[in-house]
Amino acid sequence: MQTGKKVVLTAVERGDLEQLLAWRNKEEFRKHFREYRELNMAQQERWFNEKVNNDPTTIMFSIRRRSDNELLGCCGLVYVNWVHRHADLSLYIGWKDSYIDEEGYAEEACALLFDYAFNALSLNKIWTEIYVFDTKKKKLYDRIGLKVDGVLRQNYYYDGKWVDSYILSILASDWSKGKGAAKKAGSKKLPSRR
């Protein structure tokens, strides 16, 4: 468990799957995900069993509000490359259908996750891909110190047109220089899963 002022990152539990699936399948959310298909419970359970519980390149957390333990969303590191020390960021807040909230839950969840990734796991880089219309995540990622590494032109087909995607990243050295929000999160470190 990783604890901040507002949120706690906990292991994804089987009891979380139905709510996570409902949020993940919302069309307004799904358009932002690389896995664009609507999923069924069998696929969600396969993800939980194969990826969350048994894949060393996937580290996922449920995001819970600290005050009442309410499930808010999901975040994690996927495609972790243990040789080159980088991982892809996964994040959304389903609570109140917000996707990325204004209350700071997503920001603190990222801070806790980055602190864990860079300090407990000794990763060097966290990267992600977002589509140019994903302005909520772009504003959040700008605020917490991710930088645009490049643009993939016409990389996604949505709503009858081609759109570009950004590749963004943050390095451990950026995070340690205080460009991230680790200090604000008040995080406690987790032991390494390796």
In the chain, what are the domain boundaries? 2-182
Phi-psi region of 178 (alpha: psi -120 to 50; beta: other; left: phi over 0): left
Tokens 């605020």 belong to residue = 143
The two tokens of residue 18 are 């139905």
Count of all residues that appear for the chain in the document? 194
Which pLDDT value is given to residue 36? 76
What band does 169 get if pLDDT is binned at 50, 70 and 90?
very high
Q: Which of 66-70, 166-170, 177-181 has the lowest mean pLDDT?
A: 177-181
Which pLDDT value is given to residue 186? 44
**Full-model pTM:** 0.87
Instruction: Judge whether residue 27 has pLDDT over 60.
Output: yes
Residue 191 to residue 194: CA distance in whole angstroms: 9
Q: Check if CATH label 3.40.630.30 holds for domain 2-182.
A: yes
Mean pLDDT in the chain?
89
Instruction: Judge whether residue 58 has pLDDT over 60.
Output: yes
Which pLDDT value is given to residue 187? 43
Instruction: Judge whether residue 188 has pLDDT over 50.
Output: no
Which pLDDT value is given to residue 72? 97
